[in-house]
Amino acid sequence: MATIHTLTQHHSSSLLDAVGRTPLLALPRLGAGLPPGVSLYAKAEWFNPSGSVKDRPAAGILRAALESGALRPGVTLLDSTSGNMGIAYATLGASLGIPVRLALPASASPERFAMLGALGAQLERSDALEGSDGAILLAQQIAAHEGAAIYYADQYNNPANWRAHYLGTGPEIWQQTRSQVTHFVAGLGTSGTLMGAGRYLRERNQSVRIIAFQPDGPFHGLEGLKHMPSAIRPGIYDPNFADETLEISTEDAQAMTQRLAREEGLFVGVSSGAAAAAALRVAARLQAGRVVTVFPDGGLKYVSQSLWERA
């Protein structure tokens, strides 16, 4: 296996360069009932190497840690994850020769455990009932115990998370809409997408509306999203940043996920269904505008879920 040092000298040969530049897809059938001046778009983040939007912050965190020397031979990257960030770390880490150790809820989908195992990540399972917060607490305990052998990436508090979206997702949306985006809708997990892309878009045009969405309660089925009032609040999240925050029910997100598959040919995860439900809610109020959201991942990691059995 090539060393970290060797690989970081040749980024052009690594998967890091394949992250980002994802398509911006129009959603014409979903928005068929909207006024003629309103259009609806989504970033197709499953085009990233590991299949989700989390490749962006994972790549940003890895680059920053390699450049600072925090990640060096003999050091293992540790973080908590609900699934996608872990798969991103494991994918990019394997390509760079970096060992990856992850704390994740025991309730994560079987597909995610299978993918992480295939990629060689060391897994530590936290209590399923404690969700992503339980994984955070477990990762903190491991980091405190292991000391210098661990680089604790801490995605919820690492500024390289939101900066990845400021440098990538935001500029891409601005360019792909030819600077015509009027509303940006993003879900709250770590909040990196909202904070990073939202900051960039607001700097380019102060009138762009930034809209967050979250699950409608602490007990929900929207993997990767947080109900902020009842969760450990990420350090990178500013609750006053968004112009408004919508609440989306698990049932609405699941129904929309099925609609996206049948009406748009987009087989996506339930968090993408939640994003579409939130974006459509925003678009339905308008007489004119371009509403852009982010579809975090595709649906292949969720085929075992009852949502598709019912469908």
H-type alpha helices, the chain: 4-8, 55-68, 84-96, 110-118, 131-146, 159-164, 170-176, 192-204, 250-259, 270-283, 306-310
**Does the annotation count 306 as an active-site position?**
no
80 φ/ψ angles, rounded to the nearest 5 degrees: -95, 155
**Amino acid at site 214:** Q
C-alpha dihedral sign at 205, 23, 192, 153: negative
In the block, tokens 């909202």 appear at: 194
SS3 215: strand
Instruction: Kindly name the residue from 43, 54, 226, 301 that is annotated as catalytic.
Output: 54
Instruction: Kindly name the residue from 14, 132, 271, 272 that is annotated as catalytic.
Output: 271
CB 156 within 8 A of CB 150: no
DSSP state at residue 169? I
**Does the annotation count 54 as an active-site position?**
yes
44 φ/ψ angles, rounded to the nearest 5 degrees: -90, 85
Retrieve residue 287's tokens. 């007489």
The C-alpha atoms of residue 293 and residue 305 are separated, in whole angstroms, by 24
Buried b (16+ CB within 10 A) or exposed e, 15-41: bbeebbebebeebeebbeebeeebbbb
Beta bridge partners of 76: 150
CB 287 within 8 A of CB 38: yes
In the block, tokens 């949306």 appear at: 173
Q: Which residues are identified as catalytic?
A: 54, 271
